């Protein structure tokens, strides 16, 4: 997911306090940034494969995904956004309370929300695979994802506000959906027009 263009970095309003981080920061010396696939590339529009091998290749993929996300200044990235057909996403994303969430999820499944827990938040959303476009999209303001870590251990990640949006956005990617697929026809058109008019500040994979 792309950083909200109006979304100030939370550490800027922390007034010198140490920012709270939930999760483990990646080793900055590991991994290589790869170019980002964009809307129209088939790998983004179909469900990705379930991960079955929790090996060194998977760990290296997670490292590359973090580097790719940071190079593009995103707050979340799914494996198919660097052209890899596997169910993995990474994130380094603030919530609305200024807590920074960092981590990865393999084979994520979004938990169904109890009916009473569905409060919608209609903030703006963007995506590294729809460069330079932003559009309002209503989503539940709470999300929980279950899956595995890169070693195969079961994990559960939950979040609120902007981070809840990120968890839903990244899980959607791995099932072949972009956020623009959830927009009205008119808003989708507007997002694609913004993308056509803009120039991404990071390397992308050209579509044939
Ligand atoms: Zn995205």
Residue length, the chain?
Answer: 208
Given 3, 47, 136, 170, the catalytic residue = 170
Short-list 101, 98, 148, 141, CA closest to 122:
141
Q: Give pLDDT tens digits along the chain (208 positions).
A: 998 765 444 444 445 556 899 999 999 899 999 999 999 999 999 999 999 999 999 999 999 999 999 999 999 999 999 999 999 999 999 999 999 999 999 999 999 988 777 789 999 999 999 999 999 999 999 999 999 999 999 999 999 999 999 999 999 999 999 999 999 999 999 999 999 999 999 999 999 8
Given this model, what pLDDT does residue 4 score? 73
Task: Report angle CA 91, 96, 98 to the nearest 5 degrees.
Answer: 75
Ligand 1 midpoint to CA 42 (Å): 14
β-strand pairing of 154-160 with 120-121:
unpaired
Domains and CATH numbers, the chain: 21-193 (3.90.45.10)
C-alpha 159/C-alpha 157 separation (Å) is 7
Predicted local distance difference test score (pLDDT) of residue 115: 74
Ligand 1 center–CA 30 separation, angstroms = 23
d(CA 141, CA 52) in angstroms, rounded, equals: 31
In degrees and rounded to multiples of 5, residue 106 shows phi and psi of: -105, 135
List residues forming the annotated binding site for Fe cation.
Answer: 127, 169, 173
What's the pLDDT at 17? 59
Q: At 148, list the tokens.
A: 């595995």
Q: Token pair for residue 94?
A: 């603030």
pTM of the predicted model, to two decimals? 0.93
At 182 the pLDDT is: 98
Q: Measured on CA atoms in the order 83, 84, 86, 87, is the torsion positive or negative?
A: negative
**Is 170 marked active-site?**
yes
CA of 130 to the centre of ligand 1 (A): 7
Cα(143) to ligand 1 centroid in Å equals 16
């Amino acid at each position: 997911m792309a950083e909200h263009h109006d979304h100030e970095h939370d550490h800027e309003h922390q007034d010198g306090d140490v920012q709270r981080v939930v999760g483990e920061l990646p080793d900055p010396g590991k991994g290589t940034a790869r170019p980002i696939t964009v809307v129209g590339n088939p790998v983004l529009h179909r469900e990705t494969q379930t991960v079955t091998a929790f090996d060194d290749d998977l760990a290296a993929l997670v490292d590359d995904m973090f580097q790719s996300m940071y190079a593009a200044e995103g707050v979340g990235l799914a494996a198919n956004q660097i052209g890899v057909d596997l169910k993995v996403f990474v994130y380094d994303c603030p919530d609305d309370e200024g807590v920074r969430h960092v981590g990865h999820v393999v084979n994520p499944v979004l938990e169904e929300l109890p009916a009473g827990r569905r409060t919608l938040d209609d903030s703006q959303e963007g995506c590294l695979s729809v460069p330079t476009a932003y559009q309002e999209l209503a989503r539940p303001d709470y999300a929980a994802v279950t899956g595995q870590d890169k070693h195969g251990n079961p994990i559960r990640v939950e979040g609120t506000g902007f981070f809840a949006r990120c968890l839903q956005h990244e899980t959607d990617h791995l099932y072949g959906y972009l956020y623009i697929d959830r927009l009205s026809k008119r808003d989708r058109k507007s997002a694609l027009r913004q993308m056509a008019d803009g120039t991404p500040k990071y390397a992308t994979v050209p579509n044939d």
